[in-house]
Every structure is written in C-alpha cells, then in structure tokens.
Amino acid sequence: MAALVRHDTATEAVFPRADAEIRADAAEIARLYDALDGVSERDNPRTARLLSCGRSKIAQKLIEEAGEIALEAVRHRSRSVVRESADLVYHLVVVWHECGITPDEVWAEMRRRTDKLGVAEKLPKSPGRPASAAECGK
C-alpha cells in the first residue's frame, strides 16, 4: 500500500503522526479486509455468520456500532469509545468487502478531499454554504 498522505506541513497539522505509523494503521485495515476472503465457520464463526447474513444485516451492525460510540462519548467513557471504535472499524471493513470496495478506493477519496479542502472532511452539500446551527448541535 502506498503512502496514504502527502508529507507536507499542512498534512502534518492534520495527521501529526509519522508516515510509517499511518501506513501501519492502513496495513491493519488491509490485513482485515484480505482476511475476510478466508473466513471459515470453524476458525471465525462470528464473522462467518455475519457475512452469511448479507448486506442488510452487516449495514445494521455498522449503524449499531456507530450509535454505541456516540452513547459512550456523551457518557465520557473514553475507553469504551476506543473499544466500540474498533468494532465500528471492523464492521466498516466488512461493509466495504461486501460491497466490493477496497480500502485503497477509500484512501483515494480521502486524498482527493484533502487535496481539495486541506482536510479529508465531508464534502459540502453546496459550495460556500456555512454550517447550519443544526449541524453544530445548536
């Protein structure tokens, strides 16, 4: 997997970790993604069952994990947010795999957004539109 971010001052402000560490994190996601091809009921029963349930169930699990993170965050339970985040990433990678989307496609979109906006943030709904009070939780 190629370097995931450009090495420049703007990127360092957004991604302050070393490039090698970022690649290692992406490598872990790639490892999980690739491992999904070899899942067996005997060795990976929970993942095998999840994959056999299909896209709707996998998507439902993704939503559940995101909700659990949000609840733990508002409860100020940082350790729980970490654990639930790992679950969310796992389910996200399973969704990608189910949809035939590779991690490299997602990284390319992140790079495209960074190149356009300076941060790999969500693209605006319409050009120049400021954030609404609802988006800011007000």
CB atoms under 10 Å from CB of 89, counted, come to 15
Residue 20 has pLDDT above 70, yes or no: no
- Cβ neighbors of 10 (< 8 A, separation 6 or more) are 118
> Which carries the bigger pLDDT value, residue 16 or residue 73?
73
pTM of the model: 0.72
- Cβ neighbors of 133 (< 8 A, separation 6 or more) are none
* pLDDT per position as a tens digit, 33-44: 999 999 999 999
> Which carries the bigger pLDDT value, residue 133 or residue 65?
65
Average pLDDT over residues 100-122: 87
- Cβ neighbors of 123 (< 8 A, separation 6 or more) are 113, 116, 117
